[in-house]
Amino acid sequence: MTDNNVFYGQTPPLKLFFLVAMPGAIGMLASSLYGLFDGIFVGNFLGKTAFAAVNLAFPFVAINFALSDLIGVGSSVPIAIALGRQDRKSANNYFTCACIIIVVMGAAMGLIFGLTAPYLMAAMGATGELAEFATQYLQVYAICSPVTTIVFAADNYLRICGKIKTSMVLNIAMSAIILLLELLFLLVFKWGIWASALATCIGMIVVTVISMAPFFTGRMTLKFCRPHFDVKLIQSMVVAGSPNFLSNIAGRLTAIVFNTVLLALGGEDAISVYGVIMYVNDIVQPLLYGVCDSLQPAIGYNYGARSPLRVKKLAVCIFAAGCMISLLAAALIFALPTQISLLFLSSPSAELKDMAGFAMRLFSATFLTRWFGFASQSYLTAINKSLFASILSTANALVLPMAFLGILWPLGLTGIWLNFGATAAVVAIASGAILYAQRKKLLPEKED
């Protein structure tokens, strides 16, 4: 019996939760800190225009990574299920093909974004320094795209192989490298906004090389093999990765629309406040994602092994942990809105400070219900029920925000700050309805 069988198939569910989800949450939080520091350093060292430029450009950066995640997450689900069924040949083929696709896709998208960056910023209404800074930021990510976009897929593959602590350490190391390089580039060398993007890319490249090295030496559960591509394989990866992809891509498309509206309604100040909200969201979200995503291989493995009781207990862990994280986040954001905002806003005017504090308090209500929809989507993805997960992710990231943008339009900027909480509440209700309606089909049949 392999270590993977023992770890995911026999470890008591609650113990497995602490062994997997806690390091996963810490690792994901650590990996998200580079975004937090990026915002703090750019806002304080380079000024408000540079901070707004990052927020204009980053949705396009995230779209590029979302395309790679489509394959990275999409391959992880069938890999975990195949390992649960002891089908190592299929698992290795999924792994090999996915890595090739991610690198090729990263190169293609990097070329596209690198060439179109100036036109994308102009289309959003950015001019002058704002457009110039945003273009520089996006183009650095585009150049490095062939090597950086596989970093998050590599993290998934490490966790599938049971290398939970290795994943956590590498995520912490990546944030530390990026932090040090940002300080060096921005504070010591006094370089511009492009250096912030370069620091992040260098950190990702270093961690990518370290993460993938064990797979090339053949010392992992997953091994490279001669790839066998076919339509069914690619289709299964796309279907399994669709919920996560749709959530990411739709969320960034929504951010692009919101940035365009905010630029028209409130100028750079409104963009900056929205940027603060996005940075705070990108701290809480990785904690939720770390807990839920870290348990996906375990759930998928036991689903493939037809162990319904273990699947159910692991699902309970996801929902309970997600609830605790979200409620704590809501309380902290509501209690300290101005203090949190000032981390990103350098010498803000009284009007900007008041706008940020008011927006953050409204935004805090989002986490009262977001945990339920997020945990539901993660569980459905883990057991390969991609249709329902995709419905939830698309509703959460695009359909409902766009609907509420119209419904709440008479409220102006206040309507945008309320949009997040309203969307989360409706998604939670829809998630509960789906889980109740499909309750008999969401667990595997017992092994004969």
Quote the tokens at residue 97: 């093909």
pLDDT, tens only, 165-198: 898 899 889 989 999 999 999 999 999 999 999 9
* 314-319-322 Cα angle (round to 5): 120
What digits encode the pLDDT tens for the residues 299-347?
888 887 788 888 888 888 889 988 999 999 999 999 999 888 888 887 7
Q: What is the pLDDT of residue 114?
A: 96
Percent of the chain at pLDDT > 70 equals 97
CB 24 within 8 A of CB 318: no
pTM of the model: 0.71
SS3 for the chain is CCHHHHHHHHCCHHHHHHHHHHHHHHHHHHHHHHHHHHHHHHHHHHCHHHHHHHHHHHHHHHHHHHHHHHHHHHHHHHHHHHHHCCCHHHHHHHHHHHHHHHHHHHHHHHHHHHHHHHHHHHHCCCCHHHHHHHHHHHHHHHHHHHHHCCHHHHHHHHHHCCCHHHHHHHHHHHHHHHHHHHHHHHHHCCCCHHHHHHHHHHHHHHHHHHHHHHHHCCCCCCCCCCCCCCHHHHHHHHHHHHHHHHHHHHHHHHHHHHHHHHHHHHHHHHHHHHHHHHHHHHHHHHHHHHHHHHHHHHHHHHHHCCCHHHHHHHHHHHHHHHHHHHHHHHHHHHHCHHHHHCCCCCCCCHHHHHHHHHHHHHHHHHHHCHHHHHHHHHHHHHCCCHHHHHHHHHHHHHHHHHHHHHHCHHHCHHHHHHHHHHHHHHHHHHHHHHHHHCHHHCCCCCCC
Residue-level pLDDT at 446: 66
Find, among 211, 213, 210, 187, the residue nearest to 199 by Cα.
Answer: 187
pLDDT of residue 394: 86
Euclidean distance between CA atoms 193 and 29, whole angstroms: 24
Give the tens place of pLDDT for each residue, 23-67.
877 777 776 777 777 777 888 889 889 988 988 898 899 889 988
The pLDDT score that the predictor gives to residue 80 is 86
The answer to whether residues 259 and 55 touch, using CB atoms and an 8 Å cutoff, is yes
Residue 431 has pLDDT above 90, yes or no: yes
Give the integer Cα–Cα distance in Å for 436 and 296: 21
Q: Dihedrals φ, ψ of 336, to 5°? A: -130, 50
**Of 28-37, 135-144, 286-295, 301-310, which gets the smallest average pLDDT?**
28-37
Residue 2 has a pLDDT of 44
Contact 419, 369 (CB under 8 A): no
| pLDDT beyond 60 at 150 | yes
**Summary mean pLDDT of the chain:** 88
Does the structure show a pLDDT above 70 at 447?
Answer: no
Cα separation of 298 and 211, whole Å?
20
Under the banding of pLDDT at 50, 70 and 90, the label for residue 448 is: very low
Q: How far apart are CA 248 and CA 257, in angstroms?
A: 14
CB 389 within 8 A of CB 241: no
Token pair listed for 434: 């789906």
Residues with Cβ within 8 Å of 32's Cβ and at least 6 positions away in sequence, in order, are: 175, 282, 283, 285, 286
